[in-house]
Structure 1
Amino acid sequence: MLKRLEALGYVARHRSTSDERVLEITTTDAGAALRAQAETVPPRIIERLGMGLDELDALRGSLHRVIEAAR
């Protein structure tokens, strides 16, 4: 996955100058822009659903119980 992100220009990989065994990963400007865009998604979903966080949390709990019961 890391190679894919690098190929897309979202991250850069560099070997540490102090320890060649360490691979340092940094976010590029394009990666930071994509992250900023992604951070707007959850609030927009909540807004579209028209449900409060308490209600969504309760729903998530109920769905987890249904999934566990189905197993």
Structure 2
Amino acid sequence: MSLEPTAWRRSSYSGGTGGNCVESATNESRALVRDSKLDDSPVHVFTAQAWAAMTNDLRTGFRGREPRLRLT
């Protein structure tokens, strides 16, 4: 699988101060995520389903339940 996306999208929370944020992109049926400060940073690959679940959990604050996606 190629990790070359069509375009990276920088988080709206990145701002211009060089804070800790991410860029995301899609490729085939995957979501790609990397450090917004480093163009050549490692790319983390998620299935579309895992990415949707994680971003929904972050957006809704988990609504009083445990996260569905655990990173160990």
**TM-score over 0.5 for the alignment?**
no
Q: Choose 1 or 2 for highest CA Rg.
A: 1
More strand per residue: 2
TM-score, normalised to structure 1, is 0.24
- Which structure has the highest helix share of the two? 1
Provide the TM-score with structure 2 as the length reference.
Answer: 0.24
